[in-house]
Amino acid sequence: MDAVDVIRTKRDGGRLSDEQIDWFIRTYTEGGVADEQAAALLMAIVWRGMEDDELARWAAAMLASGERLDLSAVGRPTVDKHSTGGVGDKVSLILSPLIAECGAAMPQLSGRGLGHTGGTLDKMEAIPGWSPWLEPADMVRVLQDIGCVICAAGAGLAPADRKLYALRDVTATVESIPLIASSIMSKKIAEGTEALVLDVKVGTGAFMPDVGSARQLAETMVRLGEAHGVRTSALLTAMDTPLGNSAGNGLEVIESLEVLAGRGPADVVEVTVALAREMLTLAGLDADPAAVLAGGAVLERFRAMVRAQGGDPDAPLPEAVERWTVDAPATGFVQRLDARAVGIAAWRLGAGRERKEDPVSASAGVVWFARPGDEVEEGRPLFELHADEPARFEGALQALASAVTIGREPPGPAPLVIDRIGP
């Protein structure tokens, strides 16, 4: 095999053969293909796309580049959820213990935030002592004992994706549905779960801003999951408005604890319960997640999961030393609260990162006191900004300058769950 021939095939619109795909993924992972050649192939894929069977082979080769976890000893049906990323999306923190309380096991291998979207691991690391690093045997043990775990993917899972993702990030080849789908699904299939529900976000604060592209991505990932023996479905959920009332690592943990105690924002509860119902259906379990969540017992399971991973659920969460209040500029009804603007503000306050190696603040973020449909009064607090240093406020205020539209009438209702994709 020759890398130039593989690049030329895709550049000219051809289908990569199974042999070409297997050779390229294996050889690049081992260091035998140069980064500039891999970048050229990725760009050719961005422009030319991939056929369904070609993409399935590409994902299979990425999966075969590493190990696949064996969760057969867990003793419960296993089902996971993956979100394509949003603002204020703290659903995984609530969903994991909820699914466990309903009788399944949820092996949540999560990632970190980048840019305006938050990361589950960053949120959980706001809890003193909690660690995302578990060996596979320890992960199985926690799933057996608690029924849920939130942790980082080990280096042995889909190492080809780790190399390719880092290259895509610096070569403007992220925006490709085949590459996005194979990246997500190779890791999720490798974690060994029997079933998977995808939360594909749609809107200004999402990676996919329109329903058409989100549906295409969801359909592609569902096909990949089914092709590899994982029962898979997807929900398209709205991300024009951020979820809940806060964006920021420790702030979202606080909000998650409120939901786990049977309270919390209605939109977070609605999305969580919709995903839980879909997951339990795929797992073959008959339970009412709304009733279970409202009962409040899920909170103790979350606390047990935190303890199992070295965290102290009773320790105080970090608090920002600097705060800034933004008042409503007019009286009326909130018609729009832009998710991307809020996410960028939280990022500039220190809650997010521009590069994967950047540190994040556990206490920084944004709290908002009104959502679309709420009535506000001029001069009353609309946002509260949290930061570790006052110099960060200026950039955040610039991001929020046009984040809110206030009008005389409330907007019409907009569904949170837009569509379902799956068998």
Catalytic residues: 82, 161, 168, 183, 187
Cα gap 377→381, rounded to integer Å: 9
Give the integer Cα–Cα distance in Å for 27 and 65: 10
Count how many Cα atoms sit within 13 Å of the Cα of residue 394 in the half-sphere of its side chain: 1
Token duo for residue 254: 């606080």
Report residue 327 CA to chain centroid gap: 31
- CA–CA dist 66, 136 (Å, integer): 14
Angstrom distances, CA of residue 65 to CA of 15, 108, 192, 375, 393: 21, 21, 15, 54, 44
The DSSP letter of residue 156 is: T
Q: Are strands 375-376 and 332-337 parallel, antiparallel or unpaired?
A: antiparallel
Concatenating the DSSP letter of every residue in 290-331 gives HHHHHHSTHHHHHHHHHHHTT--TTSPPP--SEEEEEE-SSS
Residue 259's closest CA among 284, 287, 296? 296
CA 293 to CA 332: how far, in whole Å?
34
Closest Cα partner for 232 from 220, 242, 240? 220
Question: Computed over its alpha carbons, how large is the radius of gyration of the chain?
Answer: 22
Q: Compute CA distances 359 → 307, 364, 366, 373, whole Å.
A: 24, 12, 18, 36
